[in-house]
Amino acid sequence: MGLARLGVRARLSALYAASFAGIGVYMPFFPLWLEHRALSVSQIGLVLALPVMVRIIVTAPLMGLIDRSTGMRRLMIAAHLALILVYAGLAWTEGVWLIALLVVAMAAAQAPIIPTADLVVMESVRRNPGLDYGRLRLWGSITFLIASVASGYLLGALDPDVVIGVLAGLAAVGLG
């Protein structure tokens, strides 16, 4: 195994790690943040349903930008920058309708991240037969678990408002 190939493996594994860490915080703890913002159970259900609908609508058109002029790297950077801005907005927002609007924007920003990471990795695996997709993808799963557990401990000691700061920080890591 050459050093160059190890570098490719490390970079692709880091791409998956960065892509899945935020999901590892968002899935278990964003509902807690919504509850902390005084949303009712039915409002939380509505807000959590919005990202699924948004991703169904926007993922294909956003991924189509790769084939035109945007390219994979620029799409990933734009998505992570948009996430940082949305999280900054969420940190200062109260009220179900403003939160819902920002969650729609968040879902649109998140939509191309995993598919673009998959595309980058699959193209690399196709070009480099020695790369193993499963081993690369494993780092996304491991990071998801670590982020979930670490955030649980963090929230055991801090206010639920920290969730948005952690998500913004992880989105910033995705810029690298």
Poorest-pLDDT segment among 2-6, 12-16, 90-94:
2-6
Q: How many domains does the chain have?
A: 1
Query: Which pLDDT does position 107 carry in this prediction?
Result: 98
Residue 2 falls inside a structural domain: no
Do 150 and 103 touch, CB atoms closer than 8 A?
no
Here the CATH number for the domain that contains residue 109 is 1.20.1250.20
- Does the residue 118 lie in any domain? yes
pLDDT per residue as tens digits for the range 120-166: 999 999 999 889 999 999 999 999 999 999 999 998 899 999 999 99
Percentage of residues in the chain having pLDDT higher than 70: 97
Helices 3-36 and 113-127 cross at an angle (nearest 10°) of 170
| pTM score of the predicted model | 0.89
Task: Name the residue with tokens 């920290």.
Answer: 162
Tell me the pLDDT band of 8, cut-offs 50, 70 and 90: confident
- pLDDT digit string, tens, across residues 63-95: 998 888 778 889 999 999 999 999 999 999 999
Quote the domain boundaries for residue 163.
8-173
Q: What is the mean pLDDT of the chain?
A: 93
Split at pLDDT 50, 70, 90, the class of 4 is low
Alpha carbons 152 and 42: distance in angstroms, whole number: 24
Specify if 1 maps to a domain: no
Identify the DSSP state of 158. Answer: S
